[in-house]
Each structure stands twice: as structure tokens, then as C-alpha cells.
Amino acid sequence: MKLSAINEKCSGCGTCRLSCSLENFSTVSPSKGMLKIEGLFPSPGKYLIHLCDQCGVCAETCPVDAIQINDAGVYILNEDECISCMACTDACPKGVMMTHKDFNTPFKCILCKACVESCPRDAIISVEDGDIDVKKMEKEIA
């Protein structure tokens, strides 16, 4: 399973980030959401959703192997093994290996799907490999 974004549907409301922080940290703090919404204004006037695609670059970069893939195909950070060098945050090609002043270690999406379930515009979807042609959907919406 992976998360995919249909950017054309995003209104920038931030509900996804809020629900992520509630689900994973039991707090109302969108800054702790494990995804980013980028507003591109005034031109072209749209939002881009940045999601973890479980590419594994963070795990490859970690000097102490604190990030491992589980049976579900999700990369999980072991906080006890992490040395907080932040190499993974620098290496993340999507910019979604997150940090926050309240935490000593970085954190990332664990595919809880809270963002999918809460998005009022279905801009974030959960897909199995090969289930949906997201690029085709984006073209149909445009």
C-alpha cells in the first residue's frame, strides 16, 4: 500500500496534517503532521501535497540502521537506535522526514491513513501498486 496525492483536488485546508498529529501524537498540532502542503501562489495558484512514498532513501542513509522496513512495507524509525544525526532528513527526496522541537529524533509517515480518511476532497488516496492510475485521474480532473 502507498499513499498518493491528487494535487488538483487539494484546497490547502490542512485537515490531513491535523488528523495525522491527532492520530500519531494525540495532539492538535498540524506542525507534527507527517506530510507537507505547499501553496504555490500567486502563480500557478495551486497546492502540492508532499507524501512519504516509502522509497527507503532514509533507511539507506541512516548510519546506524535505525530505520527498517516492516512486513507491511513501511519504513519505521527505531527511536532507541537513532543517534539524531538527521542524515535521513537531509536525504529525504520528498522532504517529509520530519523534525519538531518537541522531539529529539526525526519521524516519518507510518501509513496510518488518518490523512486519507479525513481529507474532505479525496486529495490523498491509499492505493495498492497497480490499483489506480493516479496520473490518469489527475489529467481527468484538470
Tell me which DSSP letter residue 121 carries. T
* DSSP SS3 for 124: strand
Which parts of the chain have pLDDT scores under 50? 138
Is residue 106 within 8 A of residue 97, CB to CB? The reply is: yes
* pLDDT score for 134: 53
CA-based R_g, the chain, Å: 15
What does the domain layout of the chain look like in residue ranges?
1-51+110-135, 54-108
* pLDDT score for 69: 97
Is residue 22 within 8 A of residue 114, CB to CB? The reply is: yes
* pLDDT score for 44: 84
* Check whether domain 54-108 has CATH 3.30.70.20, yes or no: yes
Q: Mind listing the pLDDT tens digit for each residue in 84-108?
A: 999 999 999 999 999 999 999 999 9
Tell me the residue type at 78: N
Look up the pTM and report it: 0.87
Distance CA 116, CA 69 (A): 22
- Rounded to 10 degrees, what is the CA torsion of 99, 40, 14, 67? -30
Three cell numbers, residue 72:
507491511
CATH number of 1-51+110-135: 3.30.70
